[in-house]
Amino acid sequence: MQRGVIKFSPESISFALPLLPQSTQDTTLLQQKFQHALQSGGTTEIMLSEDEADILLDCLPTPQQGENPSATTVRKDLIDFLQRMRSPQASGGESGLMSKLNPLNWFK
């Protein structure tokens, strides 16, 4: 599992925090990260795993025309973050399905 740093504004954090479900250990840790970042004020860098970014992305409402600008910003930031994490350069080579399809990687 890869981790990376993502920057969130206080507005983005305030928007995303209430959307997180209360039920799992992963979301509890994520809530703690966001609450700490919100208390520190200003734009904050948060270390996230790919799984945490996926959880956040899944919690966002469906994109709609005229939606809250914070929703658009959070969604865009998370998608950019995940694309960076999943790019071949981030993992030191091919990633995802393409790596599995490459016969040279079958026995690694």
Taking the model in full, what pTM does it have? 0.75
Q: What is the tally of structural domains in the chain?
A: 1
Q: What is the mean pLDDT of residues 80-89?
A: 85
**Can you tell me whether residue 49 is helix, strand or coil?**
strand
Which structural domain range is residue 26 located in? Answer: 3-105
Return the pLDDT at 47: 92
Parallel/antiparallel/unpaired status of strands 44-49 and 3-8: antiparallel
Q: How many CB atoms lie within 10 A of CB 85?
A: 19
Q: What distances in angstroms separate CA 36 from CA 7, 13, 19, 42, one per listed residue?
A: 14, 10, 16, 12
pLDDT in tens, 38-64: 898 889 899 999 999 998 999 998 888
pLDDT at position 81 is: 93
Mean pLDDT of 18-31: 78
